[in-house]
């Protein structure tokens, strides 16, 4: 009987050794070499595995970059510095892209809007939307139950006391998870430098908006007429801004009768061209309202009646000959 056990153990051990040797041989024979650049690139990424790049995770993105299927600057979380280093590993050049941040296009919180019903159910915007579109009379507004907050992997968005999401710009990476989580589509990604936002997503007629939301867009079109660079259009009763065209002058926010346009920058009180002007004409060419005049190689002047104080001339001047005075 003991001999049977001994033979069994020996035979099983031998079979195991044989299989192990076979697996080792197969591993060496059929081994797929992993490009070492993939690991180097993955080390430069944020490690959030948020999917904002369009791939399942950081490892998948790194592999796609090495295979030429993704751009070195394709990760919005890691930023330009990482993109430059990734490009260096690959031996290519990359263009820097401005960081984008989440922006909530709704300012109708608990205090500013009316309600049609009281929702008592699962604390989820998606669930509330199934019940007559939620509590608010505005079918386009924020439902305030925090799907965006739950989705954010960086704790960069919180629901405030007024039932609206607030974004922490320092924590936000622009991954877009909150955008995907919002069933109302009121969250967008905007360039970090953008200082003008239309905080409304309603397509209701103006007369209806006035009844249910104090700061809602009424589609009056004043902002469209005011914008000097045609960066705002009306789409189905709603003002929509083109961030690529917008020059952050803040004029639209001043004209908006309901306050639905939020301008976070500082308005310019006065613009002066100093004696350091070399008359290069760059400022005159850049001015969107032709408010700057002057001959080549002579000091230019600003037409105060035309000037909208947008500051583009200041940004264009190469010799620091333009001074800005801001409002208090």
- For residue range 40-85, list pLDDT tens digits in order: 888 888 787 777 787 888 888 888 888 888 888 888 777 777 888 8
Helix, strand or coil, per DSSP, at residue 158: strand
What are the domain boundaries of the chain? Answer: 36-90, 100-263, 268-326
For 4, the enclosing helix (H) or strand (E) is helix 2-29
- Where does the pLDDT of residue 98 fall: very low under 50, low under 70, confident under 90, or very high at 90 and above? confident
Each residue of 146-195: pLDDT tens digit?
Answer: 999 999 999 999 999 999 999 999 999 888 999 999 999 999 999 999 99
Report the range out of 173-177, 196-200, 284-288 with the highest average pLDDT. 196-200
pLDDT of residue 256: 97
Q: Which two tokens stand for residue 87?
A: 């490009």
What's the pLDDT score for residue 300? Answer: 95
pLDDT in tens, 225-234: 999 999 999 9
The dotted CATH code for 268-326 is 3.30.70.20
Predicted confidence (pLDDT) per residue in 305-317, tens digit: 999 999 999 989 9
100-263: which CATH topology?
A: Alpha-Beta Plaits (3.30.70)
Domain 36-90 has what CATH class?
Answer: mainly alpha
More confident residue, 300 or 46: 300
DSSP H/E element including 89: helix 79-90
Give the global pTM. 0.75
Could you give the percent of the chain with pLDDT greater than 90? Answer: 61
Helix (H, G, I), strand (E, B) or coil at 188: strand
Per-residue pLDDT tens over the stretch 233-261? 999 999 999 999 999 999 999 999 999 99
What are 191's two structure tokens? 């360039």
Given this chain, do its domains 36-90 and 100-263 carry the same CATH topology? no
* HEC profile of 243-309: CCCCCCCCHHHHHCCCCCEEECCCCEEEEEECCCCCCCCHHHHHCCCCCEECCCCCCCEECCCCCCC
pLDDT at 74: 81
The pLDDT of residue 14 is 60
Tell me how far apart the 2 most distant CA atoms of the chain are, in Å: 113
Question: Who's near 232: CB < 8 A, 6+ residues apart?
Answer: 198, 223, 224, 239, 240, 241, 242, 246, 252
């Amino acid at each position: 009987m003991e001999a049977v056990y001994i033979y069994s153990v020996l035979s099983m051990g031998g079979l195991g050794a044989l299989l192990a040797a076979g697996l080792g041989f197969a591993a060496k024979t059929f081994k797929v070499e992993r490009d070492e650049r993939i690991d180097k690139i993955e080390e430069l990424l944020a490690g959030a595995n948020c999917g904002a790049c369009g791939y399942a995770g950081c490892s998948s993105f790194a592999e796609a970059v090495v295979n030429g299927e993704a751009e070195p600057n394709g990760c919005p979380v890691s930023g330009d510095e990482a993109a430059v280093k990734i490009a260096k590993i690959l031996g290519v050049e990359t263009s820097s892209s401005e960081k984008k941040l989440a922006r909530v296009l709704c300012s109708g919180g608990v205090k500013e809007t009316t309600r049609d019903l009281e929702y008592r159910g699962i604390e989820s915007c998606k669930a509330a939307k199934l019940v007559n579109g939620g509590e608010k009379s505005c079918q386009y507004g924020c439902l305030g139950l925090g799907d965006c907050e739950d989705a954010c992997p960086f704790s960069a968005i919180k629901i405030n006391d007024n039932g609206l999401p607030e974004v922490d710009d320092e924590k936000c990476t622009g991954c877009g998870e909150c955008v995907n989580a919002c069933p109302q589509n009121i969250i967008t990604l905007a360039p970090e430098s953008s200082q003008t936002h239309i905080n409304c997503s309603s397509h209701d007629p103006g007369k209806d908006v006035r009844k249910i939301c104090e700061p809602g867009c009424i589609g009056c079109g004043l902002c469209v007429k005011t914008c000097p660079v045609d960066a705002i259009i009306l789409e189905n009763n709603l003002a929509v801004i083109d961030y690529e065209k917008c020059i952050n002058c803040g004029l639209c926010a001043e004209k908006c009768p309901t306050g639905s346009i939020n301008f976070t920058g500082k308005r310019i009180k006065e613009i002066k061209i100093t004696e350091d002007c070399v008359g290069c004409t760059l400022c005159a060419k850049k001015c969107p309202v032709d408010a700057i005049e002057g001959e080549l190689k002579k000091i230019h002047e600003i037409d105060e009646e035309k000037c909208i104080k947008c500051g583009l001339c200041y940004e264009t001047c190469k010799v620091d000959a333009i001074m800005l005075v801001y409002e208090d």
